[in-house]
Structure 1
């Protein structure tokens, strides 16, 4: 019996979800600076201007925090396990999906990495099964190690009873 190994998505998964909020914050900062430059031309009551600023900053903050919380739940509920003679990929919170693939039924397991993903140690794996569709697993931690583990298990002869 081989040792079971379990893998999760890379921590970059969280940063990936925050990028739109970081752009929104940068855009807000630029707009606030520009609005300060033209505030003399467009006279807004001081309390209205500060309310708009606070509301916008609060919306961006709430969006970013919500995004991180949702990502944390997704991250904790997604797992890839090499369980002896099968690959088990489970994901989902409310709608749970579990794919169990016998190692010997895997036709190929492909690794897709950008240069940045190689530097970060993350990547996507695409599992092609004989007679079935593809299974894509995104932003896995140590995808090359997972790929090598699965390929080494595939080369081992199966013991029939």
Structure 2
């Protein structure tokens, strides 16, 4: 049903936190596979992915999209954590919608408005749920997951995400 794609570069600790929040989805049968798209890590990112049973792709996000088995993709930043209840919300969205969706920021993860304006917002900070077909089409012109998600109109899900800390 759902393939999770995480683009990494020297993010072993963040990757472990993100993967831990996906365990419930794997147990429920919602998460079909997890693909770690690495862009040149020199730390132990590959080992974290391997121990967690993820597919490890050394290359761009387009290669990860091609390997994905699910009809829907969930893009996450390493270090982001999904809050309880995300599974039902994503399943309901993918059953009735065709447009992309993003999670709502958890209360403790929200930044003040002025800070968001001055710092800019990462396009994947709230994750992205998107159909594989649409992601494949967008990946032809995007060199990264962040570029794929930037400027994309999306629906807001009620499920929350703890945003990955900025590097």
The alignment's TM-score, normalised by the length of structure 1, stands at: 0.25
- Structure with greater proportional helix content: 1
Greater C-alpha radius of gyration:
1
The alignment's TM-score, normalised by the length of structure 2, stands at: 0.25
